[in-house]
Structure 1
Amino acid sequence: MRRPTNRRSVLKSILAGTLTLGISNRFFALSAENNLNNETVSPLKGNINHSVARWCFKDIELETLCIEVKKMGIRGIDLVGPKDWPLLQKYGITSTMCNGAEINLLDGFNDTQFHEILIINYTEMIPLVAKAGYKNLICFSGKRRGKTDEEGWNNCVIGLQKLIPLAEKHNVTLVMELLNSKIDHKDNQCDKTSWGVELAKRIKSENFKLLYDIYHMQIDEGDVIRTIKENHQYISHYHTAGVPGRHEIDDSQELNYPAIMKAIAETGFKGYVGQEFLAKNPDKLKSLKEAITICDI
């Protein structure tokens, strides 16, 4: 994932900001909205709850994206912050993985020098997530920077345990994403399922879970289906993308997504599977619809 830095000042500007739309985009979105009830919504099987990562479709105006994904039967958009929640709510779309409290993907809970700002950010954001009716708030371990696994776990526990009581009070889940350290996020510490699971065991709260990114974990460890089946109780969200290249999840890549989706469904998972691929096809919405069809087992 590639998301902007969010320190306290940025967080405050996000919370205070209002959505601004270009006239042409606004006109297009309103026209599409007026015709939305006349469009046929794609019938989905209901075994998988589908969402899509906002940043992968950042060149599509958000209101247009809301309209188009709703037609596909997609129920949520991942990685959307507070200033855009009202727009999602307008179209009945859920913010399935909230963001905006993290500093960035590099400076996370495994390093105590970042705890002060992280505690401030998450303390402010958790009640906002709950007030909006959402559940998941993303977080990151950060880069290893020479720390042993034990040092990383201990530091994460120190920081996260200061937030867990607040998360439990508001029924918000702090969700740490598993990111590969081989290709995309060099030196990331939470780069294996086993590392994230051990952290979850130490925190001992249902309000801390993992975001199992299928693309990232195929790169760093493989054995995707068995890993999901053995560790599903620690996972609250999934992301997809094709391997190699992080593009469409079609037959040009190595993962068998229908089989993976079947395995996820068999665990009794009721959360969301978010499409997080970078489309090579210029018609990105067509690629998204095809991905939903592939994953709708």
Structure 2
Amino acid sequence: MNQKETSRRTALKNIVVGTIALGASSALPGIANSETSSFAPLKGNINHAVCRWCFDKIDIDTLCKEAKGMGITGIDLVGPKDWPTLKKYGLTSSMCNGAEINLVDGWNDPQFHDVLIKNYTEMIPKVAAAGYKNLICFSGNRRGKDDETGWNNCVEGLKKIIKIAEKHNVILVMELLNSKLNHKDYQCDHTAWGVELAKRLGSENFKLLYDIYHMQIDEGNVISTIQSSHPYIAHYHTAGVPGRAEIEDNQELYYPAIMKAILATGFKGFVAQEFIPKKEDKLQSLRTAIKICDI
């Protein structure tokens, strides 16, 4: 993940939330006790991934090795320099990055189109050559633009690279982020906005990254939205609400039900953990999250 993206997220790391001992949790099925080192085989219904930036204090080799042992098959938000390490461990780059400028300067503003078109034109073939599928993109901040202007600008810019994505069988995936708390003024902040953009582009090579944490904050109604919008969703991110911490039973989302809803849509992509671990044993937090979401 590039430096600007990292700085976008580091402010979140100061959020403090209450946690509970894993052994006290009986509400969530199939969770390994925190004292247990063994990890039961996964059911194979969900393609599990983890976001690199959330575990950036752990070196990439260690994270890959541990993730592999948990049954995780993808690492999110990893650029070309770390792809050889992922391949060494038999993992995929489940959501590639490195073509975006940052989160605020995006496709909704023509002043950034030249740079973005150059970046994505160069990156899309690299993603395809590495055998990967998804490449992240962002709307950018509104800066006073209404919805119609934002849609029109995004379509104008993205249409200049969508044929390249189609040629290389790469999906451009725009992330939905909340504008209420973490990303003030971000334009693609509701599922309906992203779905409308996808409809206007009319390409199977443009989809949405439905971030469950972000959309719970800005719109709620998570399961119903997934059911109605799933044809436009290529990828999911998780995190606990409130606080973006572990997804255990001290937060308001019940992830087993959400995972069942995702699976019921016929989804075959990745669900990536993007919570910021607050407990000392960060890898155990990841193991717990995977077990919660493995339905």
Question: Could you tell me how far apart the structure 1 residues matched to 2:38 and 2:80 are?
Answer: 30
1:74 offset after TM fit, Å? 0.2
Aligned pair partner of 2:270 in 259, 264, 272: 272
Tell me the equivalent position of 1:5: 4
Contact between 2:51 and 2:77, CA under 8 Å: does it hold in 1?
yes
Question: Could you tell me how far apart the structure 1 residues matched to 2:211 and 2:285 are?
Answer: 19
The one-letter code matched in structure 2 to 1:217 is: M
**Cα 1:258/1:41, change in 2 over 3 Å:** closer
**Cα 1:41/1:287, change in 2 over 3 Å:** closer
Contact between 1:40 and 1:71, CA under 8 Å: does it hold in 2?
no
The one-letter code matched in structure 2 to 1:137 is: L
Tell me the equivalent position of 1:185: 183
Contact between 1:5 and 1:102, CA under 8 Å: does it hold in 2?
no
The one-letter code matched in structure 1 to 2:78 is: V
Contact between 2:54 and 2:275, CA under 8 Å: does it hold in 1?
yes
Aligned pair partner of 1:243 in 241, 248, 252: 241
Aligned-residue Cα RMSD (Å) equals 1.2
Contact between 2:46 and 2:294, CA under 8 Å: does it hold in 1?
yes
Identity of aligned residues (%): 73
Tell me the equivalent position of 2:172: 174
The one-letter code matched in structure 2 to 1:118 is: L
Q: Deviations over 1:137-178 (max 9, x none)?
A: 000000000000000000000000001000000000000000
Tell me the equivalent position of 2:45: 47
> Post-superposition, which runs of at least 4 consecutive aligned residues in structure 1 deviate over 6 A?
none
Where in structure 2 are the equivalents of 1:3-152 lying within 5 Å? 3-5=2-4, 42-152=40-150
1:40 offset after TM fit, Å? 7.1
1:186 offset after TM fit, Å? 0.2
Contact between 2:212 and 2:236, CA under 8 Å: does it hold in 1?
yes
Contact between 2:2 and 2:98, CA under 8 Å: does it hold in 1?
no
Unaligned regions of 5+ residues in structure 1, if any?
Answer: 7-38
Question: Could you tell me how far apart the structure 2 residues matched to 1:133 and 1:276 are?
Answer: 23
Unaligned regions of 5+ residues in structure 2, if any?
Answer: 6-36
Give the SS at the match of 1:51.
Answer: strand
Q: What TM-score comes out, normalization by structure 2 length?
A: 0.88
1:5 offset after TM fit, Å? 3.4
Question: Could you tell me how far apart the structure 2 residues matched to 1:282 and 1:180 are?
Answer: 28
Q: What TM-score comes out, normalization by structure 1 length?
A: 0.87
Which structure has more relative contact order (CA 8 Å, sep 6+)? It is: 2
The one-letter code matched in structure 1 to 2:4 is: T
Contact between 1:176 and 1:210, CA under 8 Å: does it hold in 2?
yes
Question: Could you tell me how far apart the structure 1 residues matched to 2:3 and 2:215 are?
Answer: 23
The one-letter code matched in structure 2 to 1:195 is: W
The one-letter code matched in structure 2 to 1:104 is: N
1:41 offset after TM fit, Å? 6.5
Contact between 1:167 and 1:173, CA under 8 Å: does it hold in 2?
yes
Question: Could you tell me how far apart the structure 2 residues matched to 1:111 and 1:4 are?
Answer: 21
Tell me the equivalent position of 2:224: 226
1:42 offset after TM fit, Å? 4.0
Aligned residues between the structures: 264
Q: Deviations over 1:201-251 (max 9, x none)?
A: 000000000000000000000000000000000000000000000000000
Question: Could you tell me how far apart the structure 2 residues matched to 1:5 and 1:61 are?
Answer: 19
